[in-house]
A and B are shown apart, each in its own frame.
Chain A
Amino acid sequence: MKKRTLKVLALGMAMTMTALAMGSTAVLAEEAAIDTSSEKNFKILAIWPEDSAEGKILIGLTEQYIAEVNPNFSYEYEYVPSADVIAKVSTLVASNDLPDLFAYAYGQPIMDLIAADKLVNVSKELETLGCTEYINEGAKASLLSLSNAEELYCLPYGMNIEGFWYNKKIFEEAGAEVPGTWDELMAVCDQFVEKGIQPIAVGGADRWPATRLVSAYAYRTMGADAVKKASYGEMRFDDEGFVTAASMIADMAEKKYFGEGSVTVDNTTAESMLLNGQCAMLYDGSWFTSSITNEELNPDGEENIGFMGVPVVDESVSAATELPTNCGNPFVLSADKYDAATAGWLQYYMTNVGNYAMSGFQSLRGYTYTTEPDELSPIVKEVVDNINSATSSTAWWEAYMDTETKVTAMNNIQLVLSGDMDGAGYCASIQETYDLNH
């Protein structure tokens, strides 16, 4: 009996010890998920120069983390132009040397990295870190849609709306009303052309400002998800709606609404033209506010520039409150490099970035914030109000296209602007490339 009792006791103790050991392992494992004391050299590959607002936010917050939380944490910041980031990352992937954190591109590029298990599942990590509530819901929906995934594999680093910006002085001098519908936009453009004023500046050399115009008309006439459907084969790019949208832009170019040779103008020049009164309107994103609030770039002051969104074509298809939005280029974390020290940085970043960007830079980054800057610039306030009042959003023309189709869509829009290709030809060329690659 004694022996049996001893055996039971021994077994019980062994089980208790095992349970305790397992428990302590679990606790250790949980603790190891966040390490805010060990050494780590954190490599960042960004598409923003160190002296840009984006660069300053990222570097400033990381330095604040080092100062306040983990003095053993260090970082390397490498800048690469956005046009080269895909090439750079694909080279690093091939050599299995992705940086800890890097800016990337939506659509097929990010989908390829997700499929190859190269990226951290951000949804799961944020849940572990208790940081899920810090991502803006609109940004989250946009990121999920643009990466075609059910869970987040990227972080936002912007919260932009797009639409037409206009020069108030030129409108006043020409006696023109701010257009609310596309027909009114065309009438206003005619009015400007008659008065010898260039109605719209388009940075056709950079291509995307021109494709955004096709996209704007397409989503106003076909709905917000038309481009996504075509990119996933549920519609065709040579469908009538897309042809009408591309033909509309070809027609506007032919009527000289974009001036002479808009194909040769880059977007920085187009922005400068609006700010200096050389054109009446410009299609651009809310990142343009940094130029509007810059006194050197905008001598007439920010009160001279207004935002009017994209004119409506059919309110029943797309309401005025539906605006094109994007979260800038996404940030992703390399799965191979992700460890407890990175988790420590990530937790700090998630908790602070919204407030840090808003209070220090008057900038929305796609994260929630609780602080308000002392004096929000009127134009930034207008943008923030528009984002907050937007009922739904839509992505841009090439957002969901595979890379080769995207290249065709972006290149051939220049031929539409120069009058060497009509709307139907443009849409057919995109569909042809799409078919060749699917």
Chain B
Amino acid sequence: MKSVLRNKKAIALFVLPSFILYTIFVIVPIGCTCIYALYSGTPGLNWKFVGLANCRKLLMDPKVKMAFIFTMKYVGMILFGQVGLGLLLALMFRFWIKRFNNLVRTITFFPIVLPLIAVGQLFRKIFEIQPNYGLFNSILANIGLTEYVEAWLGRPQTALICLVVMGLWNSIGFYAVIIYGGLLDISNDIIEAAQIDGARPIQLFKSILFPLLRPIIITCVVFSFTGSIKVFESIVALTKGGPGEATVSLAKLMYDTAFEAGNYGYGSAISMVIFVVCILGAYVIRRFDSKEV
């Protein structure tokens, strides 16, 4: 094996095909986007070189600032929700739910297979207020909490929460099942030994389960971060970016700028912001991963 790995031709044979594919499908598009960011307008129509003007505009544009803040809030809430609640559900599957375990896991997992557009329509109906109350407002009204009946999707403060609730409902089963798989890999002997030594549930989790689940949790954090930083479909399905521009994410702003407003250059500049945020996020997660190893 060592001799194979010292052979440069063998290394090239292993690495080159994937490197070529990676270059074609990842590096070249990123390079093109960098170049596009130096232009304004639509290719073939009013495409002109503007240098760093798009970067300057990025710094001044209040829409970019709003979209960035919204995206960060969304990522933060979704990340903690997906991983935290996913972990909680996995612990429930492993230790508390003894009967109908498979059924409960299936029910928790099934929303992941539903298309987001359909889920968006479902949640629009749940949060509806006009012409008739949706499920949520009906419950509030029927239990005497009429003063809390609200246009949940129509207020900037609550629309974000609705998006997060929808995002969690749709994806939490996925994270629960992954973490549950990690929990099954932990030997019962270790858990029983800790219990015999007098470890309480919190101590058991803190000192035994969490350290052993760490690689799985880091994987979930990576999945959750990369999935939520590019949030787009759920916004289109549920709020269309509204009210106003309160739920416009960086990805939605990039789409609107490039494809709706026909400014591909500035849209590319916005996508570079997403790219930089992704790199920074990956760096932070990597540091968290390697810190206590």
Instruction: Give the B-binding residues of A (Cβ under 8 A).
Output: 86-87, 90-91, 93-96, 109, 112-113, 115-116, 118, 201, 204-205, 207, 259-265, 269, 272-273, 278, 403-404, 407-408, 411-412, 414-415, 417-418, 420-421, 432, 436
A421 to B244, CA, bound (A): 9
Instruction: Give the size range of B's interface with the partner.
Output: 35 or more
Specify the chain A residue showing the minimal Cβ separation from B129.
A261
Q: Is B188 an interface residue (CB 8 A)?
A: no
Interface digits, B92-132 against A, CB 8 Å rule (1 contact, 0 not)?
A: 00000000000000000000000000000000100111110
A412 to B246, CA, bound (A): 9
> With contacts A90-B262, A265-B130, A404-B261 known, is A412 near B245, CB below 8 A?
yes
> With contacts A411-B245, A420-B243, A421-B244 known, is A116 near B60, CB below 8 A?
no
Which label, helix, strand, loop or mixed, suits the secondary structure of the B interface? loop
Residues of A within 8 Å of B60, CB to CB, are 436
> With contacts A115-B46, A205-B240, A414-B243 known, is A109 near B153, CB below 8 A?
no
Which label, helix, strand, loop or mixed, suits the secondary structure of the A interface? helix
**Additional A-B contacts beyond A278-B131, A417-B243, A418-B151 (16; CB < 8 A):** A112-B46, A113-B45, A115-B46, A118-B45, A204-B154, A261-B151, A263-B154, A263-B243, A403-B260, A404-B263, A411-B242, A411-B248, A417-B154, A418-B156, A420-B155, A421-B244
Specify the chain A residue showing the minimal Cβ separation from B240.
A205
**Do A260 and B46 touch across chains, with their CB atoms under 8 A apart?**
no
A262 to B130, CA, bound (A): 7
Residues of B within 8 Å of A418, CB to CB, are 151, 154-156, 243-244
**Do B259 and A87 touch across chains, with their CB atoms under 8 A apart?**
yes
A90 to B127, CA, bound (A): 36
Residues of A within 8 Å of B57, CB to CB, are 436
Shortest Cβ-Cβ A-B pairs, 5 listed: A261-B151, A87-B259, A263-B154, A415-B244, A414-B243
Q: Is B138 an interface residue (CB 8 A)?
A: no
Looking at B124, B156, B241, B243, the one whose CB has the most chain A CB atoms below 10 A away is B243
**Do A263 and B242 touch across chains, with their CB atoms under 8 A apart?**
yes
30 contacts between A and B (CB under 8 A): A86-B262, A87-B262, A90-B262, A91-B259, A109-B262, A112-B46, A116-B46, A204-B154, A205-B240, A261-B153, A263-B153, A263-B243, A264-B130, A264-B153, A273-B130, A278-B131, A403-B260, A411-B245, A411-B248, A414-B154, A415-B244, A417-B243, A418-B154, A418-B243, A418-B244, A420-B155, A421-B244, A432-B62, A436-B57, A436-B60
**Do B130 and A415 touch across chains, with their CB atoms under 8 A apart?**
no
Q: Is B201 an interface residue (CB 8 A)?
A: no
Q: Quick one: which of B36-58 are within 8 Å of A by CB?
A: 42-46, 57
**Do B154 and A94 touch across chains, with their CB atoms under 8 A apart?**
no
Specify the chain A residue showing the minimal Cβ separation from B259.
A87
Specify the chain A residue showing the minimal Cβ separation from B242.
A414
**Do B260 and A86 touch across chains, with their CB atoms under 8 A apart?**
yes
